[in-house]
Amino acid sequence: MTSEIPARPELGNVVVGVDGSPSGRTAVLWAAAEADRRGRTLHLVHAADTDRRALFANAETLQAVREAGRDLLVKSASTVQEHFPDLAVTKELSRQEPVAGLRAAAGHRGTIVVGSRGLGGFSSLMLGSVGMGVAARAEAPVIVVRGESNRPESGSVTAAVHGASDAGWLLVAAAEADARKAVLRLVSVWNVLTHVGSVATMLDDLDEIAGQRVHEIKALADRVRDFYPGLNVSHHVETGTSTPGILVEASAHTDLLVMGREHRVLGAGPSLGRVAHVLLHHAHCPVEIVPPAFATRVEET
């Protein structure tokens, strides 16, 4: 009698922000390739922000903004079809500002893709306010396209894991690796400095903590194999004093780095943790952030 394979999470449609910038054009083609791998629709969104503009702009200006947005969507769709002629592509001219427009378009099941320089055209910024906004607030996964667009593929997806609490979003990383027919590498950084300083912390305690981390990461790898028996899964616990630094280095040798978004609240709304913030600004490959609510839904499927 064969054992039943647990239900796998489904990767949804891909929603990409279109703004006409070089970074935005790179993101559109990356998103098209992602949608093609998934066998899903690519949804192009240009957030014209006309609801807000209507407070201070005249009718002629608003019409010009809409026409420019439509032209940009048509050109972007044409470029995508040249590279992916069989891909289903839809277009949306949103009246909302970019963060709200992308969140609404993706809903709870899609995946949002943005460029590394932001959708607002601020090319001097390493990551624009829109990219940071959707990564911190979206209810769906967000991928920020970073790194050289022409670098050779490594054939691997890397998941930055910490422990058992990562089980939900880790299946998203597994689905990404499975769609690419790639290796899934689980990388956990054991930062000894986080356990030093207490008078109760002894060398034997540190060894025990490190051993527990290795055990937890192996258990995560075994869980992924339950869902994806044919997937090549490796797990590694790296020791160092800079978690972001080690993960940035790891991003130079993988096609996609996936991590969960922490349950953090700063001021009036959610924010990104320090590690995610550094990766979104300095990683050598696209970075996918999976929000807590989405990870919970994955675990419940």
pLDDT in tens, 181-238: 999 999 998 876 555 555 445 545 556 666 788 889 999 999 999 999 999 999 998 8
Give me the phi and psi of 84, to 5 degrees please.
-135, 75
Helices (H), the chain: 22-38, 50-53, 59-83, 98-106, 129-137, 167-180, 203-227, 243-250, 274-282, 292-300
pLDDT of residue 172: 95
Mean pLDDT of the chain: 86
Q: N- to C-terminal Cα distance for the chain?
A: 24
pLDDT of residue 133: 87
pLDDT of residue 42: 98
User: 277 versus 262: which is more confidently predicted?
Assistant: 277
Question: 266: how many CB neighbours lie within 10 A of its CB?
Answer: 9
Q: pLDDT tens digit string along 147-161?
A: 887 888 999 999 999
Nearest to 132 by CA among 261, 251, 9, 254: 261
Q: pLDDT tens digit string along 17-51?
A: 999 888 889 999 999 999 999 999 999 999 999 99
Helix (H, G, I), strand (E, B), or coil: what is residue 195? helix
What global pTM score does this model have? 0.89
Tokens found for residue 40: 């899903």
Euclidean distance between CA atoms 212 and 220, whole angstroms: 12
Give me the phi and psi of 275, to 5 degrees please.
-65, -45
Residue 271, pLDDT above cutoff 80: no
Query: Can you tell me which residue has the tokens 């009698």?
Result: 1
Residue 174, pLDDT above cutoff 60: yes
Nearest to 16 by CA among 124, 75, 98, 128: 98
pLDDT of residue 4: 64
Q: pLDDT tens digit string along 47-93?
A: 999 998 888 889 999 999 999 999 999 999 999 999 999 999 999 99
CA distances (Å), origin 129, targets 8, 160, 287? 33, 24, 16
CA atoms within 13 A on the CB side of 137: 16
CA distances (Å), origin 9, targets 14, 26, 155? 15, 27, 21
pLDDT of residue 107: 92
Percent share of the chain, pLDDT over 90: 60
Residue 261, pLDDT above cutoff 90: no
Nearest to 112 by CA among 89, 81, 144, 87: 144
Q: Are 297 and 172 in contact (CB under 8 A)?
A: no
Banded pLDDT at 170 (limits 50, 70, 90): very high
pLDDT of residue 164: 87
Nearest to 28 by CA among 72, 86, 94, 69: 72
Question: 254: how many CB neighbours lie within 10 A of its CB?
Answer: 25
Q: Are 294 and 173 in contact (CB under 8 A)?
A: no
Question: 195: how many CB neighbours lie within 10 A of its CB?
Answer: 13
pLDDT of residue 121: 41
Q: Taking each helix axis from N to C terminus, what angle separates 167-180 and 292-300, rounded to the nearest 10 degrees?
A: 80
Euclidean distance between CA atoms 231 and 251, whole angstroms: 20
pLDDT of residue 124: 36
pLDDT of residue 193: 59
Q: Are 219 and 184 in contact (CB under 8 A)?
A: no
Q: pLDDT tens digit string along 82-128?
A: 999 999 999 999 999 999 999 999 998 999 999 987 544 434 344 56
pLDDT of residue 36: 98
